[in-house]
Structure 1
Amino acid sequence: MRESPACPERPPKDMRPRRMLARLSRVFVLLVMLIAVTFGAFPAAVARVPDGAHRLQLEVFLNGDATNLIAEFYRHPDGRFSSRRSELREIGVAVPKGDDKDVLDLADIPGLGLRYDEPAQKLFVELAPEMRLARDYAANDNGGHVTQENVAVSRDFGQVLNYNLYGTSTRGYGRSARTFNTGSVTFDHRAFSPFGVLQNTAIAGTTLAKTGILRLETAFVFAHPETMTMTTVGDAISGGLNWTRSVRYGGGQVSRQFSLKPDLVTAPLPSVGGSAAVPSTVDVYVDNIRVASREVGAGPFRLNNIPVPGESGLARVIVRDVTGRETVTTIPFFTSSRLLAAGQFDFSLDGGVPRYNYAVQSADYGRRWIGLGTMRYGLTETVTLEAHGEATPGLANGGAGVTLGLGRFGLLNLAGAGSWHRETLGGFAYASWQNTIHGVFVGLSTQRTFGRFEDVASVTARPVIGDTSGDLTDSGFFVVNRSARMPRAIDRLTVGVPLPAWNASMAASFVNLERADGDRSQLLGLTYSQTFARHYNVFVSAYSDLARSRQTGISAGLSFPLGDDVIVTSSVSATRDDRSFSAEAIRPMGTKAHDYSWRLYTNEGTNPQRGASAAYRNPWAQVTAGLRQDNAFIGGYAELDGAVVATPGGVFASRRVNDAFAVVDVGASGVEVLHENRPVAKTDWSGKAVIPDLRSFQRSKVAISPETVPAGTHITLTEQDVIPGYRGSSTVRVKTIAAQDTARVKIQNEKGEPIPIGAVLTHQETGINYAIGYGGMVFIPGIGDTNTVTIRHGEKSCETSFTREDRNGSNGRVGPLICKGL
């Protein structure tokens, strides 16, 4: 019998997990050590001192000017000096590229001389101009300016209900003609809190589509300003790029919203540079407007983040030294909002189910899930990376792009994408370029699809609506039965030419569109506009679809003001099938709290139309009414638009609140309220007013007009900065105190001398401190029947008191009171 080979003895079952855990622990420790070394978790090794050298920390002077920097140098036994490459760059020496830790001998740097002041521990470096690095300065540094006080974002609870009541009545001319009446109420409701905003929109009544209640959107939104992210659960529209398509869906979205920090500049701003022989002041002008001013040291300089009004132009840089001598240089600049500043990251993540028949059906959602993701990243000031992906059962779509700032050569955007759907591969390519050349704007773009390229919008699209309302078709609406796939080709050319010598401008555009079903359009458009005699504007426009010979038209007109606030416009137009003449006179709505507008118009031609309308706006609502008439019908309409807001401070009527608002509580009626120094409302009978046009997360100054405060009262606050939360409110409380509750108190010591300026008075009944002014005078609002005050100055203190009956005259003067001990 053969003897079986010896088998290795297996460890007991309870030992195997221990050994495996020990192995995993070793692997984990090794990974931690690798990550720590890679990302610098351990302290960096101290730079090795060259053999025989002494390490010195010296104040550096460059070409005789103080740099206000202390750098590390090594002094060798033979008197030579050396320093690390990073230190030399920091003090402004243009050393060759290499490892920052490399130690360079200063004697080997061309154009560099030095003098060492050992007693003062200073190093004087003389450097040739070509060997100096430009020093960076911020265009706006707040130096010498008042820094704004930090204001906390409001965390109020409340609700807003925007409403719009709209009714029409139309009747034909015949005796047996029918009268058509419609009416609707549009609601836009939201409940806001520090934890988010729940918002709903709906239409109720009789509309062209249906009769009843039609829900539009419902969503819960949470905004996080610290991370500039917004989370939406409910109805949303997906994010996208220039070369992608968005879809409406129900689900969830997480996206970056730079608007949550209005003071953040997300696009790279241009820089200007130059050189100053001595410390100087640099002013930058764009379009004859000074946009930046900064003091710079001697040597090359670069001013970063210049706040320019447009995307391209010429900047005039004026360098003025202490003697008044000026050097003027003109530098072209180019920037674009399509670029992200270096390090900025923008994204949108979307997931849910597609929504159909928006504004026709209340809740028509698909069953197949969709997912979309979009990203932009500012790699450098001139390179922004882009990526986009989409997925749904049976489809995978992904692409990438890049936006390049080419300086004076313009802006270039390149992108490509691919799709896989039903075992079919498709491709997509996009390119665009724009630039301003000697004031002439030129924009080019093209996109192409290859094979059967699909995206979420095309594969989730439904066929044409089969149950379209008869009222819609009877009213002139029609269904366009076209493919939902992305067009095969879209080419655009846009040229804009300013003609400043003639106060005119001219523009031309061409669009070539080839749809997936083979339909094609080639649209050519031309416009010309000129202003003469400072008030009169002449305009001409023409268009033609080169693929359809009968779709051609031209129009020309004249516009001019009539008085200070009325604008009159008249025009003639012609197509192959129609000729018409139109005239209009309009008085636009102003910015006052109580204002009005009106409009008269006529359009004579194949289908003549005439009408008139007028609107009145007050702090609580806006009312509009109008009449219109054509060949077949005559009718009218009326509209009431406003809002009701509810906060802990009360319930108020207001104009429409599109974003955020503020409630101002003055405590007295008829007081004028200002927003950014502009009168916007007056307090009502309850002493409160609503400012309906604030911006979320944006600082706003709210003030009251002191001269409108009722006589015999005192206000504790005249202005305040507020920052409302996302689509929320801020409350401004202005305490109004009656004159009999105030006192102007004069206090002296036992020698009859006024209490020193700056002494602190504490009103014992309220616990509020006040500073004593000239002549021992102090103003105390909110006094009681008896009042005890304590005065402290240095280490000394004293106490005295007075009553309400001690007030003398209309200004409530009290005293002089004697306070012993000071």
Structure 2
Amino acid sequence: MDYYAPVKQAKKRLTLPQHLQHHLFIISLTCSVPALSLTLNSALAEEVYFDPKLLENHGQSTDKVDLSVFSLSDKAQVPGLYETTIYVNRHEVLEQKIRYDQLPDGSLIAQITPDLLRALNVKVDAFPSLISQEHNVPLRKLSDYIPAADAKFDFNRMRLDISIPQAAMDQKANGYVDPKKWDDGVPVLFSNYAFSGSQRRNKNGSDDSSQYLNMQNGLNLGPWRLRNYSTYNSGDNEHRWDTISTYAQRDIKILKSQILIGESSTPGDLFPSLQFTGIQLASDDNMLPDSQRGFAPTIRGIANSNAEVTIRQDGYIIYQSYVAPGAFEINDLYPSSFSGELEVTVREADGTERKFNQPFSAVPVMQRPGRFKYSGTLGHYRSNESGDKEPDFVQGTTIYGISNEITAYTGILLSSDYISGLAGMGFSLLDLGSVSVDGTQAQTTLDNNQSSSGQSYRIQYSKNIETTDTNFSVASYRYSTNGFYDFDEANQSQDDSGQENHKRSKYQISINQALWEGASLYTSAYQQDYWRNSNKEKNITFGMNTSFYGVSYNLSYSFSQVKDEENDQQIAMNIRVPLSRWLPQSWATYNVTHQKGDSTRQQLGISGSALDDYRLSYSAQQSHTDHGGTHNTNLNATYRSTYGTLNTGYYYDNTSQQINYGIAGGVIAHSHGVTLSQPLGDSFALIDTNGASGARVQNIPGLKTDWRGYAVVPYLTPYSENRIDIDTTTLPRDVDVTKSSEMVIPNKGAMVVAHFDARLGVRTLIKLLQPNGNPVPFGAIAVSEDQTLENIVDEEGILYLSGVKTNEPVSIHVKWGVAANQQCRVTVNISPAAVSVQSITASCI
């Protein structure tokens, strides 16, 4: 047994009675071992002995206290196995237990092995001196194997900083996570549900009610995900169950893709998205590092030395790294927008700088140079309209980034009565933005067996004008000839002579213009027309947002026109005033809306969040409409708890009153039982705290461990590092944790387990007496039989332990030297009590 195992640092502050605080002061002093070290001049080369009598003056015997390990230097620490966070070149890479040996000066050196270096993405095979070493045998100084490499251990933060030259690193993209770390999760059966209903009472004596249930059910077995999406609707004397989709899915890591079997929809990046039943294999951008998702240009240049490359956009540094002499290439920028201008600064080792600009722009279809994205679907078409044809079909699409300026894409769609092919290219116009142009040729056999062929052309444009801070997020125009049908139109149950929903042209545009700090002007427009039909669909919206002394204002106008209906126009103004000076997390709101040819409505209200973690949201509004002088009242509240989300509302006007209610959450069946949760995302985590109930999870309102010590973090980002933190300030008085955070990396749709080693028990101060009646010497190490409890004895022979189980004998081994008379054992049995910290006296024999 290693009695000098590291003393785990406390993660939680305690509020104790005044007469106990000096005990914890000396305990914290001993836990932070450098505080016991001598503050010596570094020029002293001789070994100095620290006399324990300088610390102990309570009448104890001190001649047998062994504190030699702490008297070597001001860096002296106890060797052992430590849970360590490892940083490589200032980036957190790994967290694991590492054994540390003691150097002659008392400081610690990490046992770094070639296997650990490989896990840290070091090019071990590039260094002959490393290849010759056993893969799991600790190395000497790192610089003996890799020039200029170094490792420094920060004991107080349990952090190991390893510095490795860039040339010795296996370079990965920013945000890269090794696929070997992607976690398939554990087997689980779950249902993510949302139920809502209303009860309406009218003043004319009629009543009505409605209910709606949405269920997204799932089963995880290894990497496979089985999903079912079903709904239930009840109202107007009708009851209906609908199954929207059922499918099985898993990832194909080597292809960075997902394979799906069952009912789903095709990607909509080239062809319009289609509902199908069949099989699909498609690229998944979520499996790429964050820095390689979306479009960003590849930056190329030449460095004359070990140079620092800094890339700025809009004055902000978005990338900084060091490169070796010669040509360099940077292809892992985080995309901050679809267009803009990058300022690249190359700072050489001698301090000289060179700068150049890299303008870029991208429409949504554009890919990074060398990026290949694809999808392939074989299935049976599913239509939303009864009577439509539902043929078998096959569809394939490919998109490839040729360079910073050019992306090529193509696609094909085939069925028994339909064939279409698409080809196009995206171009970066640098300062002028970016544009993509494509054409689709289609041939359709209509219901009357007549063949029709035609073309559809599309152009898309995107641009961010930095000088005026104007952003064209997308502007597109599509024109289709009279003989062109997309796949949906081709399968509608009507022949060529009656095709009134045959699309002719469509355009859309979205613009955002910054005015001054905190103010912006926005507009969006959409129009679509049809062959053989003079009606058009239109939608236009524009408005302005601004704020003044914390008060937010919005003024907006909207126009909409739907086929065969009258157009609708509205103008609205919204004002939002913070009330945090009087009521935290609350706002007063005023809205006024005028509808063309109709009434003007004014609404005054208050909204906000309450309780310590803002898990309760509320709103109250009172409205008045000028035509007829009608009034209405609207009250709403939402409460988020560990077991789900509850919401309720009340509405009242001159003619009726209505009560709304709802509940949403998840029911998760796993190997340890059933756990209820808040509404689930695609990937989620089960927290296991060894039975510690009431521990809250940071940054998720209302979430804490249930009565069995379990909780569900409802949403995680797949294929990325997700840190889960326990709020230690909310732990019950009988619970302590050795580590308050956990890192998880789930696959798409996985439920991973985050285990927190919580100590469930009381906090205890034990006064240890030797057989002769003297207290156990200061500095003695105390370790429980199962090694779950450990600490150092203070100057009065008092030992502080947390997480001591009650009504259960606990055996503790105490050691302050190597001789037989320098160690003893004690068994304590703690009874439950109402106090925060219990104090007892025990004989150590």
Tell me the TM-score normalized by structure 2. 0.64
Check if 1:235 corresponds to 2:256. Answer: no
Shift of residue 529 of structure 1? 0.9
Q: For residues 669-725 of structure 1, what are the alpha-carbon distances to aligned partners after superposition, in whole Å with 9 as ceiling and x for unaligned?
A: 4453335x6676322222222222223333211232344445566534322111233
Instruction: Using the TM superposition, name which of 708-717 and 452-461 deviates more.
Output: 708-717
Q: Does 1:728 align with 2:724?
A: no
- Whole-Å separation in 2 of the counterparts to 1:373 and 1:148: 29
Name the SS for the 1:458 alignment partner. Answer: helix
Confirm or deny: 8 A CA contact 1:625 1:638 kept in the other structure: yes
Match of 1:692 in 2: 714
Q: Which residue of 2 aligns with 1:248?
A: 275
> SS at 1:805's partner residue?
strand
User: How far apart are residue 156 of structure 1 and its match?
Assistant: 0.3
Q: 1:296 to 1:348 in 2, by over 3 A?
A: closer
Paired AA for residue 191 in structure 2: L
Structure 2 counterpart of 1:751:
none
1:158 matched to which residue of 2? 188
Aligned residue in 1 for 2:34: none
2: CA distance, partners of 1:305 / 1:262: 9
TM-superposed deviation, 1:278: 7.4
Instruction: Please tell me the residue identity of whatever aligns with 1:447.
Output: R
2: CA distance between counterparts of 1:347 and 1:143?
Answer: 22
**Equivalent of 1:648, from 656, 671, 680?**
671
Count matched residues. Answer: 642
Segments of structure 1 that go 5 or more residues without pairing to the other structure are 1-135, 465-480, 746-753, 818-822
Q: Return the alpha-carbon distance in structure 2 between the equivalents of residues 285 and 814 of structure 1.
A: 65
1:348 to 1:324, Cα distance in 2 relative to 1, 3 A: closer
Q: How far did residue 415 of structure 1 move?
A: 0.8
Amino acid at match of 2:722: S
Deviation by residue 1:346-377 (Cα, 9 ceiling, x = unmatched): 2222232232448xx9xx99653122222222
In the TM superposition, residue 240 of structure 1 has moved relative to its aligned partner by 2.7
Residues 193-272 of structure 1: matches in 2 within 5 Å? 193-204=221-232, 206-207=234-235, 210-242=238-270, 244-261=271-288, 263=290, 265-270=292-297
1:284 maps to which residue?
Answer: 311
CA distance in 2, matches of 1:517, 1:800: 101
For 2:743 and 2:344, how far apart are their aligned partners in 1? 35
Which residue among 556, 580, 585 is the counterpart of 1:540?
Answer: 556
CA contact (8 A) 1:370 1:391 kept: yes
TM-aligned CA deviation for residue 557 of structure 1: 0.9
Q: Is 2:638 the partner of 1:616?
A: yes
Distance 2:444 2:710 in 1: 61
1:644: how far off? 1.4
Residue 468 of structure 1 corresponds to: none
Aligned match of 2:49: none
Deviations 1:63-85 (A, max 9, x none): xxxxxxxxxxxxxxxxxxxxxxx
Change beyond 3 A, Cα 1:435–1:744: farther
The answer on whether the counterparts of 1:764 and 1:790 sit within 8 Å (CA) in structure 2 is no
Q: 1:797 to 1:432 in 2, by over 3 A?
A: farther
Distance verdict in 2 for CA 1:148–1:345, change over 3 Å: closer
Aligned equivalent of 1:441: 471
Give the Cα separation in 2 of the matches to 1:798 and 1:705. 43
SS at match of 1:292: strand
Give distance in 2, aligned partners of 1:781 and 1:544.
Answer: 65
The residue aligned with 2:616 is 595
Greater gyration radius: 1
Do 1:139 and 1:306's aligned partners in 2 also have CA atoms closer than 8 Å? no
Counterpart residue number, 2:598: 578
SS in 1 for 2:488: helix
Of 194, 197, 200, the match for 1:170: 200
RMSD: 5.1
CA contact (8 A) 1:231 1:254 kept: yes
Give 1:803's match in structure 2, choosing from 825, 829, 832.
825
Q: Structure 1 residues 810 and 628, CA, compared in 2 at 3 Å: closer, same or farther?
A: closer
- Native 8 Å contact 1:284 1:292 kept in 2: yes
Residues 331 and 811 of structure 1: CA distance in aligned 2, closer, same or farther (over 3 Å): farther
Q: CA deviation at 1:235?
A: 1.7
Partner of 1:128: none
- How far apart in 2 are the matches of 1:722 and 1:298? 37
Deviation at 1:561, TM superposition (A): 2.1
Shift of residue 589, structure 1, vs aligned partner:
5.7
- Structure 2 residue matching 1:682: 3-state secondary structure: coil
Q: Which of residues 460, 480, 488 is equivalent to 1:457?
A: 488
Matched residue, 2:571: 555
Equivalences for residues 128-167 of structure 1 within 5 A: 151-167=181-197
Structure 1 contact 445–491 (Cα < 8 Å) conserved? yes
SS in 2 for 1:259: helix
Shift of 1:530: 4.3
Distance apart, 1:657 and its partner CA:
1.0
Tell me the secondary structure at the aligned position of residue 453 of structure 1. coil
- Contact persistence 2:193–2:215 (CA under 8 A): yes
Q: Is the 8 A contact 2:230 2:245 kept in 1?
A: yes
CA offsets per residue over residues 124-167 of structure 1, 9 Å max, x none? xxxxxxxxxxxx99999799999999845143011222223322
Identity of aligned residues (%): 16
Which residue in 2 is equivalent to 1:513? 528
Question: Within the alignment, does 1:313 sit opposite 2:340 as a pair?
Answer: yes
Q: 1:655 to 1:299 in 2, by over 3 A?
A: closer
Report the Cα distance in structure 1 between the residues aligned to 2:682 and 2:532, rounded to whole angstroms.
42
Deviation at 1:514, TM superposition (A): 1.9
CA contact (8 A) 1:743 1:780 kept: no
Aligned residue in 2 for 1:60:
none
1:698 counterpart SS class: coil
- Offset, 1:317: 4.9
C-alpha distance in 1, partners of 2:823/2:180? 38
- Structure 2 vs 1, CA of residues 701 and 529 (structure 1 numbering), >3 Å: closer, same or farther? same
Counterpart of 2:121?
A: none
Give the 5 Å matches for 1:6-17.
Answer: none
Match among 352, 358, 376 for residue 399 of structure 2: 376
Q: 1:243-296 CA deviation, whole Å, 9 max, x = no partner?
A: x32222222222221224453613342456788887664443334433222345
Structure 2 alignment gaps of length 5 or more: 1-165, 446-450, 581-585, 769-776, 831-836
- TM-aligned CA distance change 1:240 to 1:332, over 3 Å: closer
The residue that corresponds to 1:428 in the other structure is 456
- Contact kept? 1:158, 1:647, Cα under 8 Å: yes
Q: CA deviation at 1:208?
A: 5.7
Per-residue deviation, residues 638-673 of structure 1 (Å, max 9, x unmatched): 212222111113211211113222222223544533
1:626 and 2:652 correspond: no
Instruction: Give the Cα–Cα distance (whole angstroms) in 2 for the partners of residues 706 and 324 of structure 1.
Output: 47
- Rounded Cα–Cα distance in structure 2 between residues aligned with 1:207 and 1:185: 12
Q: How does 1:711-722 map to 2 (within 5 A)?
A: 711=733, 714-722=736-744
1:771-813 deviation digits (Å, cap 9, x = unpaired): 99999x9999999966899999xxx999998534399998999
Asked if the contact 2:219–2:225 (Cα under 8 Å) also holds between the matched residues in 1, the reply is yes
In structure 2, what is the Cα distance between the partners aligned to 1:743 and 1:542? 73
Aligned-partner Cα distance in 2 for 1:593–1:729: 26
* Equivalent AA in structure 1 for residue 544 of structure 2: S
Per the alignment, residue 17 of structure 1 pairs with none
Structure 1 stretch 372-381 or stretch 582-591: which is displaced more? 582-591
Shift of 1:767: 9.8
- 2: CA distance between counterparts of 1:799 and 1:771? 20
Task: Report the equivalent of 2:55.
Answer: none
Normalised to the residue count of structure 1, the TM-score between the two structures is 0.65
- After the TM superposition, which residues 317-328 of structure 1 pair with which residues of structure 2 at under 5 Å, given as runs? 317=344
Native 8 Å contact 2:765 2:800 kept in 1: no
Q: For 2:197 and 2:486, how far apart are their aligned partners in 1?
A: 41
One-letter code aligned to 2:643: W
Secondary structure in structure 1 of the residue aligned to 2:404? coil
- The answer as to whether partners of 1:671 and 1:704 remain within 8 angstroms in 2 is no
- The DSSP-based 3-state class of the residue aligned with 1:681 is coil
Q: Secondary structure at the match of 2:719?
A: coil
What is the CA distance between 1:630 and its match in structure 2? 5.4
